[in-house]
Amino acid sequence: MTKLIIDPITRIEGHLRIEVEIEKGKVKNAWSSGTLFRGIEIILKGRDPRDAWIITQRICGVCPIPHGLTSVFALEKAFNVEPPEIARIVRNLIEGTQYLHSHILWFYHLNGLDYVDIVSALKAEPKEKSLKELKQKLNSFVEAGQLGPFTNGYWGHPEYKLPPDLNLLVVSHYLKALEIQAEASKLTAIFGGKMPMHMNTPPGGLTKIPEIREIRTFMYKLQKIKDFVNKVMYQDLLALAPYYLEWAKIGKGVENYLSWGVFDDKSRKMEKRLLPSGAVFKEKMKVENVSPDEVTEHVKHSFYKYTKPLNPKKGRTEPEYKKYDTDTTYSWLKAPRYKGKPMEVGPLARVLIAYLKGVEPVKREVDTLLEKLGQKGNIGILKSVVGRLAARVIESKIIAEKMEEWINELVEEVKKGNVKVFNDYKIPKNGEGVGLWEAPRGALGHWVRIKNYKIENYQCVVPTTWNACPRDDKGQKGPLETALLGTPVADPKKPLEILRVVHSFDPCIACAVHVIDPETNEVYKIKAI
């Protein structure tokens, strides 16, 4: 038996362990284990309900905005209050900044080096002055043995397909993207007060309306980001994808997809959102309406006191650590299911659901991309590692474009004198609420129950819990575990292929990956970037 430990895998957030068995060069079995317990839900018990939207933003440093907004939606349901129209627009804009930041960060800094060979870039023969200078700089780092964040990569792996000049070009964009994703965070701070942990969207509406100077600054920076998405990020996708089209057949996963929808229109209905709510099951490939009542959480293979599968409305978070054992309990993540089935969530789910519902900008962008890749009408290739790559770029284009429309809506509302930013409310003695929204990584739900004016119970079902969950009570694998099955691994000492599948989900937990080959008993220990 060969056991390979990659510890740590960076380029994700938090703590994740992946254990796989390899037979005849392919993954035969897989286990996904979240190894960090935080207990935010326990922290919230007994607190003033108004604290929840501030505290839950601390669940994630990369995507605090959707946690804050989802909590606010749950509280507004419990408080029986609806915010003014101008709050809807500003909230969409703040959420849009989160998506642009997250998708650019993922495309280049968390995922890009799975496809771009830094060392190969040194063989490039660039003509542009800036690329020549970049090559010289990289060369000096290599000669000095100081590759910094590029140290310990699997450079030279046969799965890297790009020619040297393209590798160098994308490396230059990798560095530019550091500046661009920082600009996206500044956009959040303009309308949200600060980033991370914005402060402008409490239950009931907003704390203030953006000023004209803030709107002008926002528009200027947004145009800069939009240009990068369209002229650099999208073009990089078109350049990279033809070299990796075989990955359109790898990492399909469970082929069930769920979205709560994100970016409200005036109706504020989930099914009318820019990226609408819905569920798609493998057997039908038809979008169904969704309900939070169909969600259950399983804990048979998790480090919690065992209960039968529960809806989060009645959910319990009672940690009980047991010995790590893939046959019994092996993860701090629960196993959420929708109508009893594991569901993939995230950009791929949102894009597929929107496409199948005929959402015009999504249909346009998907069809255009498929045609440019020589795959006209072949929507099925999106159910893959390549599909997850493409979906984030497609979303970035659509959201950046839509944000310009929301800015115009905001200006028009101000011109009409619709500047009310807040509707008051009273905290009920007893009440319940659920907020359903989408973080960049996928479906996000917050459930709150209030008793005697305090939080009696609070439950969060987050994107990576859906995607990286363990097996459920029926033994059904989670989406990431399923996606790993059949993945080819050319060299167990350099499991680049496994990293591609894992990173395609953008897990919000740090990883240690264990690769088991039943043919030998060797043990390898490797550090990877």
Give tens-digit pLDDT for 51-90. Answer: 999 999 988 878 899 999 999 999 999 999 999 999 999 9
pLDDT, tens digit, for every residue of 115-133? 999 889 999 999 999 999 9
Helix (H, G, I), strand (E, B) or coil at 310: strand
pLDDT of 443 strictly over 80: yes
Tell me what the mean pLDDT of segment 203-224 comes to: 94
pTM of the full structure: 0.93
Lowest mean pLDDT among 329-333, 354-358, 401-405: 329-333
Q: Using an 8 Å Cβ cutoff, are 467 and 481 in contact?
A: no
Q: Using an 8 Å Cβ cutoff, are 63 and 438 in contact?
A: no
Angle at CA 152, nearest 5°, toward 150 and 154? 95
Tell me what the mean pLDDT of segment 351-372 comes to: 98
Instruction: Name 356's bridge partners.
Output: none
User: What is the pLDDT at residue 40?
Assistant: 80
Euclidean distance between CA atoms 477 and 483, whole angstroms: 10
User: What is the pLDDT at residue 322?
Assistant: 85
Strands of 454-461's sheet in order across: 430-439, 442-451, 454-461
User: What is the pLDDT at residue 511?
Assistant: 28
CA-closest candidate to residue 225, choices 404, 418, 458: 404
294: region left, alpha or beta (phi > 0 left; psi from -120 to 50 alpha): alpha
pLDDT of 523 strictly over 60: no
Tell me what the mean pLDDT of segment 506-521 comes to: 48
Tell me what the mean pLDDT of segment 262-282 comes to: 97
Q: How far, rounded to the nearest angstrom, does the alpha carbon of residue 227 sit from its chain's CA centroid?
A: 22
User: What is the pLDDT at residue 395?
Assistant: 98
Mean pLDDT of the chain: 91
pLDDT of 323 strictly over 70: yes
User: What is the pLDDT at residue 514?
Assistant: 30
pLDDT band at residue 493 under the 50/70/90 scheme = confident
Query: Strand (E) positions, 194-274?
Result: 257-259
pLDDT of 526 strictly over 90: no
Residue labelled with tokens 């694998």: 477
pLDDT, tens digit, for every residue of 448-479? 999 999 999 999 999 999 999 999 999 999 99
pLDDT of 228 strictly over 80: yes
How buried is residue 470: exposed, middle or buried, by Cβ count under 10 Å (0-12/13-18/19+)? buried
Tell me the Cα Rg of the chain.
23
Alpha helices, DSSP H, located in 205-346: 212-228, 234-240
pLDDT of 136 strictly over 50: yes
Q: Max alpha carbon distance in the chain (Å)?
A: 74
Other beta carbons less than 10 A from residue 493's beta carbon: 13
User: What is the pLDDT at residue 394?
Assistant: 98
Residue labelled with tokens 């940690």: 319
Tell me what the mean pLDDT of segment 147-160 comes to: 82
pLDDT of 525 strictly over 60: no
447 vs 140: which has the higher pLDDT: 447
% of the chain with per-residue pLDDT over 70: 92
Other beta carbons less than 10 A from residue 132's beta carbon: 14
Tell me what the mean pLDDT of segment 410-434 comes to: 93
pLDDT, tens digit, for every residue of 31-42? 998 877 777 888
